[in-house]
Amino acid sequence: MINDLNKTFGQIFSNDVTALRKQLVDIQQHQADRTESVNWARKLRFLDISNVPDLASLEEDRNIRSTTYDGQGRRVQTRGARPKLTIPIIEENEDDEGPDYLAVSWKWVDLADRIPYGCGSRESFRYYIQRRPGYKPHASSFPDRYMDRVILMAQNHNITKIWIDTECIFQRPGDDPRDKELGVQVMDLVYEDARLAVGLLTTPLMLQDEVDTLARLMLGTIFAVGARSDVDAFSPNVDVAKIQMLILRILSDPRWSRAWIFQEDHLASYRMTLLIPHSAHIRTNRIYDFGNIRGELQVNVARFRSSVTRFCLAQPDIRRWPSNEILRKAKRYKMFNTISSETYPTTTNSVLVDVCNRSIKEEHDRVAILANALQFSSRLDTTTTSPLVCSNKYSLSAMLLALIFMNGEILHNCEDILTHTVQSYIDLSEYRMRAPHPDERQYFFDHCRFRSPTVTLQGIETKGWIFALLPDECVRLGARETQLLRRTYTVEALEERESGSILNEVEQDTIETLISQLRRRWPGSQLAGLMQRTLDFDCDRPPRVAYPAMSNVIKMMAAVVRALHDGHEVRLARLHSRPHSSEPSAMFISPGGWSDNAGSEPLGQVLIFTSWDDPQVLQQHRYFQERLVSLRVSVLDPDGNTSNNSLLREGCSLKKHGWVNGIWDARGERLGTYLFPFDDEPKGASHRGTKRKRDTDSSDDDFESDDDSADNRHE
């Protein structure tokens, strides 16, 4: 495998796009079967600290040695003898509901990077690890000074099991290398399932003013009262430069530069707490609650990223230093991805940038990290014996691109892929869409992916259903219902929801009206039945885990109500494979005029491609993502020209024209196979793929429907 992340595909493949596509197809053949890794994750090993003394009180009760270090990492202060303590490793029972454990995120540092004098670094014991009863314990590979910090954190939260990679993945001399290879593929599960994760920093805060500045940043008191998070202004007399220097000091810690640690922070999210050492004289909790572990500031990594991103976005130009440097290490995706826009992409582009721009020992691990961070279902074989790794034939850039295609990413076709690196190509090609509901917008779009995609030389082959609009069936409310909706559908009403419900009372009443209309026109309507069951689910709030698709349908129904309120066109549709006289089985929201984009075909010729992949059906929902697609498409003829629907048949080529939100029911209908070609412009035509930039208002006409598609929002 060749690391060529800084090269364009033209440089890598000698300006031969066919060679690139052939390698993408070839790479796809080297997939990893994740079953064995998932089984490995079901039987995680942990350090059992249930018999470890309470370290917080130990130093006071016994004359245990306490160690601190000077600026060069040398021990300068000790007292008492440091006894040996053995910690056993236990294995999770596969039938357990899931143990409470603390997962550790750390980076080995050199002597010069260790916590300096005055910060109270302790080594209470010489820690030994016993793998099984009767086995000879070995000195821990995890530094004793780190073990103290981790145990203190676990004991502070009443957790008795700790997961540390260096001990819980068997990788000592003589161990089977397969253990590490299996573990690498399921790090997403390890950190996602942890009750708590802890990230160890070694760069301390030495001054009271530094800690107080961090406290004000985390509280948000540096921002003007009443300022919204998307248009923040600083309070008077805020020292912006001082805050910048504080953030840069925290981000100078070696852990922020590692690709593996980025993955751990990303996956653990709100469960990840940073431990930042500080000098002993500092008062920590006079402004902000930094916890009660002596010598440590406890900082939630997701809140820290949000505060840092908000701080940078309040400045005039985020492209200049130090804002660009800060955001490169610690941005919050769901805030950053909506700069100057109400639309969202998936997090694929953001994660790819972070994975490619951090340090790593083994370059092929970037592939596994990208898959873990994005929780991809399809994986590539990156074991040391895989041809992808041990051969110089394969491009790392092509491997990352193939992985993204294999997991259903919806992308625009850009003008010439050969002029781009993998990062610039994904950046230019990413789709941006409006979400159907304000809740969990980024989560929603991270599931907007093709079902069971296959990379071919021509493009992406995938499965789905095709719906055709009914030209004379526009969804409307009566005059009285419309007036009532516009009077009652207020900001206050949007916020007044029963606990656990997605829809508010106004939305529920409007959906009831639409259901009644459908049943009057089409008694026994399956679409009405689907909407009624979904509405009952939202009102009754049974256990949501039993209905993984329901929340998306509920949000789509909320989008229909919002569209009717705002005057957007909503039309009924039928499955294209069914007779013209068939009852409607879907309703879709216009992206701003059905014939404004993708030509001027009559409404009866407008097609919507949908798919839904529900891993719950296969009882694999714990390890595989559900995937949703709802795109306006047109049929292409063999020359790449938009054709009428007479050429629509299984296996035909489709062109994407933008995301369309709506409600649809394809139960009982066989999935068809269709091709989304890499080249969807007519032969001989010039391409127009200009991406909407976050700091401009320009956009390409073909892509406008993505940003103006159905009036929908997301978290």
For residue 447, give the H/E element and its range.
none
The answer for residues whose C-beta is within 8 angstroms of residue 55's C-beta and 6 or more apart is 122, 124, 148, 151, 152, 155
* 460 and 609 belong to one structural domain: yes
Q: How many domains does the chain have?
A: 4
| pTM for this entry | 0.87
Are 588 and 673 within one domain? yes
> Is the pLDDT assigned to residue 365 strictly greater than 80?
yes
CA distance 540 to 207: 54
* Residue 375 domain-assigned (yes or no): yes
How many Å apart are CA 2 and CA 475, to the nearest integer? 55
Residue at 364 is within a domain: yes
Q: What is the per-residue pLDDT for 99? A: 80
Residues 214 and 308 in one domain: yes
Contact between residue 59 and residue 66 where contact means Cβ atoms under 8 Å apart: yes
Q: Helix, strand or coil for residue 219?
A: helix
Positive/negative CA dihedral, 668, 670, 674, 676: positive
Per-residue pLDDT at 443:
82
- For the ranges 72-86, 140-154, 615-629, the lowest mean pLDDT is seen at 615-629
Structure tokens at 16: 């031969």
Q: Is 115 helix (H, G, I), strand (E, B) or coil?
A: coil
Single out the residue in 413, 433, 465 at which a domain terminates: 413
pLDDT tens, residue by residue, 190-205: 999 999 999 999 999 9
500 assigned to some structural domain:
no
- Predicted local distance difference test score (pLDDT) of residue 538: 87
Assigned domain for 130 exists: yes
User: How buried is residue 99: exposed, middle or buried, by Cβ count under 10 Å (0-12/13-18/19+)?
Assistant: middle
- The beta strand positions in 555-644, using DSSP E, are 570-575, 586-589, 607-613, 627-636, 642-643
The answer to whether residue 635 is domain-embedded is: yes
Q: Is the peptide bond before 322 cis (omega within 30 degrees of 0)?
A: yes
- 352 with 338, same domain? no
Handedness of CA 515, 521, 527, 532 (dihedral sign): positive
Quote the pLDDT of residue 497: 62
Looking at per-residue confidence, does 318 or 625 come out higher?
A: 318
My answer on whether 574 and 691 are in the same domain is yes
One-letter amino acid at 489 equals Y
For the segment 340-362, what is each residue's pLDDT rounded down to a tens digit? 556 778 999 999 999 999 999 99
- pLDDT score of 604: 58
Residue 617 confidence (pLDDT) above 60: no
- Maximum C-alpha span of the chain: 89
Tell me if 617 sits within 8 A of 558, measured CB to CB.
no
Same domain, 55 and 141: yes
Regarding whether 684 and 627 lie in a shared domain, the answer is yes
Residue type at 501?
S
Q: How confident is the model at residue 707 (pLDDT cuts 50, 70, 90)?
A: very low
Alpha helices in 419-525 (DSSP H): 422-429, 441-445, 479-488, 491-495, 505-521
In this structure, is residue 691 part of a structural domain? yes
Which SS3 state, helix, strand or coil, does residue 87 take? strand
Report the C-alpha gap between 603 and 312 in whole angstroms. Answer: 46
- The pair of structure tokens assigned to 602 is 């009559």
My answer on whether 120 and 221 are in the same domain is: no
Highest mean predicted confidence (pLDDT) among 1-5, 20-24, 235-239, 569-573: 20-24
513 located within any domain: no
Evaluate whether residue 290 is within a structural domain: no
pLDDT band at 438 (very low <50, low <70, confident <90, very high): confident
Contact criterion met (CB below 8 Å) for 192 and 267: yes
Domain limit, last residue, from 313, 342, 371: 342
Instruction: Label residue 516 left, alpha or beta by phi (over 0 means left) and psi (-120 to 50 means alpha).
Output: alpha
Element at 227 (helix H, strand E):
none
683, 562: one domain? yes
Alpha carbons within 13 A on the beta-carbon side of 183: 20
Task: Mark residue 321 as left, alpha or beta (left: phi above 0; alpha: psi -120 to 50; beta: remaining).
Answer: beta
Pairing mode, strands 607-613 and 459-474? antiparallel
Q: Are 564 and 485 in contact (CB under 8 A)?
A: yes
Residues 354 and 242 in one domain: no
Is residue 121 scored above 70 in pLDDT?
no
pLDDT per residue over 533-544, tens digit each?
Answer: 999 988 875 544
Same domain for 355 and 310? no
Q: Would you say residue 472 has pLDDT above 90?
A: no
Specify the pLDDT at position 688: 40
Is residue 384 located within the same domain as residue 468?
A: no
Report d(CA 554, CA 534) in Å as an integer: 6
Range of the domain at 159: 39-200
Mode of pairing for the β-strands spanning 296-300 and 161-163: unpaired
Last residue of a domain, one of 370, 394, 413: 413
Distances (CA, A) of 217 to 220, 265, 278: 5, 20, 17
pLDDT digits (tens, 9 = 90+) for 662-683: 999 998 899 999 999 998 666 6
pLDDT of amino acid 548: 53
Short-list 176, 180, 146, CA closest to 162: 146
From the list 635, 605, 666, the residue with the least C-alpha distance to 471 is 605
Q: What is the pLDDT of residues 449-469, one digit of tens each?
A: 999 999 999 999 999 999 999
Q: How far apart are CA 515 and CA 475, in angstroms?
A: 11
26 CB-contact burial (10 Å; exposed 0-12 / middle 13-18 / buried 19+): middle
Q: What is the pLDDT of residues 248-293, one digit of tens each?
A: 999 999 999 999 999 999 999 899 999 999 998 899 989 999 999 9
Determine what percent of the chain is predicted with pLDDT higher than 90.
Answer: 59
- Check residue 355 and give its pLDDT: 96
